[in-house]
Amino acid sequence: MSVITLKKPVRIISSASVVGRHEHAGPLGGLFDFWDADDAFGMDTWEHAEAEMQRMALTFALNKYGADDRAIDAVFAGDLMNQCTSSSYGLLPFDIPYFGLYGACSTAVEGILLASLLIDGGHFSRIASVVSSHNCTAERQYRTPIEYGSLRAQTSQWTVTGAGAVILADGGDGAKVEKLLPGRTFDLGINDPADMGAAMAPAAADTLSRYFRETGTLPRDVGKIVTGDLGFRGYEMMVELMHREGYDVTNNYTDCGMLIYNREKADVHSGGSGCGCSAVVFASHFLRELNEGRLDSMLLIGTGALMSPLTVAQGDSIPAVAHLAKVVR
Amino acid sequence: MSVITLKKPVRIISSASVVGRHEHAGPLGGLFDFWDADDAFGMDTWEHAEAEMQRMALTFALNKYGADDRAIDAVFAGDLMNQCTSSSYGLLPFDIPYFGLYGACSTAVEGILLASLLIDGGHFSRIASVVSSHNCTAERQYRTPIEYGSLRAQTSQWTVTGAGAVILADGGDGAKVEKLLPGRTFDLGINDPADMGAAMAPAAADTLSRYFRETGTLPRDVGKIVTGDLGFRGYEMMVELMHREGYDVTNNYTDCGMLIYNREKADVHSGGSGCGCSAVVFASHFLRELNEGRLDSMLLIGTGALMSPLTVAQGDSIPAVAHLAKVVR
């Protein structure tokens, strides 16, 4: 599959982000639509809290667009929970055809890709894409309950408590999705679940270098190159892997996981991660940069590590995938 | 969202199914492409076995089509494992852009819907959809390891050990996907995880009755109406719910979960279930009926229960979704 250029203008007409207190304390804190001081969002369990974040994010996005759920033809949704229950329960109140996705932390961009393709295809006018992650649900499921106080490796990342929603449409105002490149699954044999950046960087470099080769463009031809959640460690690997492919990305490449926390103050080691990381940074920061004219174009690359605690326990290495969307002003 | 009529002919040009020994012992046993006598498929763990089933199913489908993975523009894949690892690991050998789905047991039809829409949209020519379930991985994850010998409720179903693959294309020979109706998530307050048929039947009835209303057709206007895995118990509920909507489906409605096992001989209680259930029954039996002229048209309705063991433990009821595809000769 080659780079896809959409036939019609698909615009991101609304977006919203909902985060926890650590994310609010970070450098982008003032840009999110809502933050909750105790990360519980008024709920009795962390899992209910994460579902509530999805409900809130889509509600904010609908409110900003000035429409209710009847205006939306479909929703793509996903999260990191087993059986993606933050999505299925969180979006239950909405009367919208539902497509569940699982792309780990690439899900935000997977949703944008599929929504763009369906709108471009002509049967759908407006599609929402909603994803979430929550630090406490992820820690409980993937590692150990936070109350255990386990030590974290320096390569490990901090799962973002955040839900992001975007609404894409075949008309209206907002940044335009112009080109897409779906990713292939990739496995370079990394098997350390505390080093996701290293597992995902090869997939991101594969997709990004294919994009440059196929379009005959260079990193300098786009305003920003932004990966989802490689973090500081994965960023360095990505720069090195792209260098080996013949591309210098050091001038305009960054990663959402490096932007969301204040690294000096927050104990986040290699940066942020999780489905919510790229979703809230894109929905709050980068879409604003595009819509307010400070950025002309960007390549958003969603990165996902497709393992589970069970596959890690069985000694399998970690496959990853990276989907790319070019979004322009 | 209304019923979608595809603009161009999207055909199912190849299909394959791989099953375990219980499925081979059932009434459709002779139709599957491969069965494994000990359900392990040569692997060291059940999870590796399920991944191998996906690899085998797609390989069979590619071989029948007479092509390798370079002929395929994208693959939609999903399963029931946490983080959908049967798909990500099983399809890793294929160099195909990868879209992970999670629709529980509706995933087979969710994949057919999205593949059809993307092909209809014009950017993709050939897309594969692959799903799986395995009795032993599902029992270990959702209930208790089978070695514990727990008693099963009479309403419970038997997770199918099976992987199905279909390849859809914008040309060629094979049954045609003609109309689609994506489902909404639905929750009627059922909270018994041993009674999935009851949880999913309302979603199936919602989608099917909307289809008949919007198209102005009746059950008799289509050859067969086939749900994915409601089982015997869900079948009865479905008939009753459709009756309340004003439609008599008793003449030509059946369920893949009722067809795959010999109910008298196999101890499967309410029938088969799992992502693999509708996938292998459709790929082996119904596609053959269509392609060999014994069936003119069918409505395939994928049914998925979108809960997890954790949401059940937290007392939540079980949301469900049902996607519909009309497939014609």
Task: Decide if B178 contacts B5 (C-beta within 8 A).
Answer: yes
Contact B275, B78 (CB under 8 A): yes
CB of A145 less than 8 A from some CB of B:
no
How close is the nearest chain B Cα to the Cα of A303, in Å?
12
H helix intervals, B123-274: 135-142, 196-215, 231-244, 256-259
Q: What is the pLDDT at residue A151?
A: 79
Q: How far is B254 from chain A (nearest CA, A)?
A: 24
β-pairing verdict for B74-79 and B98-100? parallel
Give me the number of domains chain A comprises: 2
Closest Cα to residue B96, out of B45, B61, B53?
B61
The pLDDT assigned to B268 comes to 81
Cα(B268)–Cα(B232) distance, rounded to whole angstroms? Answer: 10
CA nearest to A323, candidates A176, A202, A190, A180: A180
Do B21 and B91 lie in one domain? The reply is yes
Can you tell me the distance from the alpha carbon of B224 to that of B220, in angstroms, rounded to the nearest whole number? 9
Verify that A46 and A91 share a domain, yes or no.
yes
Say whether A319 and B118 touch across the interface (CB within 8 A).
no
Closest chain B residue to the Cα of A125, Cα to Cα? B1
- Length of chain B (residues): 329
Count of other CB atoms within 10 angstroms of residue B239: 16
pLDDT at B70: 94
Rounded CA separation B209/B315 (Å):
30
Query: Residue A265: its pLDDT value, please?
Result: 78
pLDDT tier for residue B226 given thresholds of 50, 70 and 90: very high
**Taking the CB of residue A220, how many other CB atoms lie within 10 A of it?**
11
Residue where a domain stops, chosen among A121, A141, A169? A169
ipTM field: 0.97
Residue of A82, A206, A314, A323 to mutate when probing chain B, most B C-beta within 10 A: A82
SS3 A3: coil
* Same domain for B241 and B109: no
Chain B hits for A98, Cβ within 8 Å: 182-185, 321
Give the residue among A99, A12, A93 at the shortest CA–CA distance from A282: A12
Q: What whole-number percentage of chain A has pLDDT above 70?
A: 100
Average pLDDT over residues B238-255: 98
Q: Is the dihedral of CA A279, A282, A288, A290 positive or negative?
A: negative
Q: What is the pLDDT of residue B192?
A: 86
Mean pLDDT across the stretch A118-127? 98
pLDDT band at B152 (very low <50, low <70, confident <90, very high): confident
Query: Mean pLDDT over residues B241-257, rounded?
Result: 98
Residue in chain B nearest A78 by alpha carbon: B102
Q: Is the pLDDT of residue A112 over 80?
A: yes
The confidence score (pLDDT) of residue A190 equals 87
- B161 and B180 assigned to the same domain: no
Picking from B169, B203, B223, the residue at the C-terminal end of a domain is: B169
Residues of B (256-315) whose Cβ lies below 8 Å from A: 304, 306-311, 314
Identify the pLDDT of residue A234: 96
Q: Rounded to an integer, what distance in angstroms lies between the CA atom of residue B304 and that of residue B101?
A: 12
Considering the domain architecture, whether residues A265 and A157 belong to the same structural domain is answered as: no
Element (H, E) at A287: helix A287-291
| pLDDT, tens digit (0-9, with 9 covering 90-100), for A132-169 | 999 999 998 987 767 777 778 888 899 999 999 999 99
CATH number, domain containing residue B199 = 3.40.47.40
| Same domain? A68 vs A141 | yes
Would you state the pLDDT for residue B159? Answer: 95
* Residues B306, A7: C-beta atoms closer than 8 Å: no
Q: Which two tokens stand for residue B319?
A: 């949301």
A142 touches chain B (CB under 8 A): no
* Mean pLDDT calculated for residue range A205-216: 98
For A4, the 3-state DSSP assignment is strand
Average pLDDT rounded to a whole number, residues A213-240: 97
| CB A280 within 8 Å of CB A29 | no
Mutation to test the A interface, candidates B44, B196, B311, B317, most A Cβ within 10 Å:
B311
pLDDT digits (tens, 9 = 90+) for B234-244: 999 999 999 99
What pLDDT, in 10s, does the model give residues B60-113? 999 999 999 999 999 999 999 999 999 999 999 999 999 999 999 999 999 999
Local confidence band at B153 (pLDDT 50, 70, 90 cut-offs): confident
Same domain, A122 and A201: no
- What is the mean pLDDT of the segment spanning A165-178? 97
- For residues B273 and B310, membership in a common domain is answered with yes
Structure letter (DSSP) for residue A67 = -
Structural domain that includes position B31: 4-169
Looking at the structure, do residues A159 and A238 belong to the same domain, yes or no? no
Amino acid at B283: A
pLDDT tens digits along B263-320? 877 778 899 999 999 999 999 999 999 999 999 999 999 999 999 999 999 999 999 9
Contact A118 B117 (CB under 8 A): yes
Among residues B169, B188, B204, which one ends one of the domains? B169
**Alpha-carbon torsion angle B242, B243, B244, B246, nearest 10:** 90
Average pLDDT over residues B190-214: 93
Kindly state the average pLDDT of the residues A83-93.
98
* Strands, E assignment, A198-309: 224-227, 253-255, 272-273, 297-305
pLDDT tens by residue, B5-41: 999 999 999 999 999 999 999 999 999 999 999 999 9
Give the model's confidence band at B149: pLDDT under 50 very low, under 70 low, under 90 confident, else very high.
confident
A316 touches chain B (CB under 8 A): yes
Hey, is the C-beta of A2 within 8 angstroms of any chain B C-beta?
A: no
Tell whether B115 and B147 lie within a shared domain.
yes
Please tell me the predicted confidence (pLDDT) of residue B127. Answer: 98
Residue of A nearest to B105 (CA): A83
**pLDDT-based confidence at residue A328 (cuts at 50, 70, 90):** very high
Taking an 8 Å cut-off on Cβ atoms, the answer to whether B123 and A98 are in contact is: no
Is the pLDDT at A187 greater than 80, yes or no? Answer: yes
Do both A190 and A99 map to the same domain?
Answer: no
Same domain? For B203 and B85 the reply is: no
Residues 157-186 of B with CB under 8 A from A: 182-185
